Amino acid sequence: MTHNQFDGQMHENMHTGPVSQEMNHGGHELFDVHEALSGSVAALNQMMLLRPHVKDPELLDILDRQYRFALDEYNITVECFKTGRDPSHPTGRYEMKTGNDFIYGMKPAQPTKPIQTEAELSDQIISGFLLGAAKSGASMKTMAATETCNPVVRRVLADSVPNCIEMAYELSLYQNKHHYYQIPQLAQADMQQLLNSYATVGQPAMPNQHLQ
């Protein structure tokens, strides 16, 4: 193909006017939303596979609530992605049942290592899987939203990100309570120095633009 033929083909493929809602998607958007939806499917499949191995009723309750919510978000994302229009209902808001108090400090613990048999699968490992999936979902959906042209799909993805963050927060609190996830703190003087290392300022008076 010659350079002129390539330019001609590109010109034919360019849309200069409005397009239908179903086709209101850019190339980067298609790839990134596809990646985000694949990640959602993987996370949902993982939850279903891990569920029979959960021993703690509290963790089972978290898994079930997060599964139902994540499945609904997946469905409405697929809806708006395929049609370009509003899904059957707006994105909901995931709410935790637990409080927000972390336990700080380190206690002696056995080193972590890969398991070698299914019998070693524990609530610590399962909650770690779920936490990793929630964090990954937040990252993938944020990236997809910043590449999305369709305003409905962008809004659905963006509204889903805080829910992924809330799910990850709930799981980190669960892990912390059971000492699976320990949180070290800096010395008080070091922490105070970092907390006070920035200062706020007022809004400056912007200079007037001189028209030429």
Q: Is residue 169 part of a domain?
A: yes
Query: Between these two residues, 40 and 108, which has the higher pLDDT value?
Result: 40
Domains of the chain: total: 1
Q: Is residue 6 part of a domain?
A: no
Query: Which residue type sits at 149?
Result: C
pLDDT, the chain, mean: 89
Are the CB atoms for 82 and 150 separated by under 8 Å?
Answer: no
Measuring CA to CA, which residue among 129, 103, 110 is closest to residue 49? 129
Give per-residue pLDDT as tens, 65-106.
Answer: 999 999 999 999 999 999 989 999 999 999 998 888 999 999
Give per-residue pLDDT as tens, 16-58.
Answer: 555 555 567 777 888 999 999 999 999 999 999 999 999 999 9
Measuring CA to CA, which residue among 171, 207, 183 is closest to residue 54? 171
Q: Is residue 52 part of a domain?
A: yes
Cβ neighbours of residue 88 closer than 8 Å, sequence gap 6 or more:
76, 79
Q: Is residue 16 part of a domain?
A: no
Domain containing 84 — which CATH number?
1.20.1260.10
Q: Is residue 19 part of a domain?
A: no
Q: Is residue 53 part of a domain?
A: yes
- Give 51's DSSP letter: G
CA torsion sign for 8, 14, 17, 18 is positive
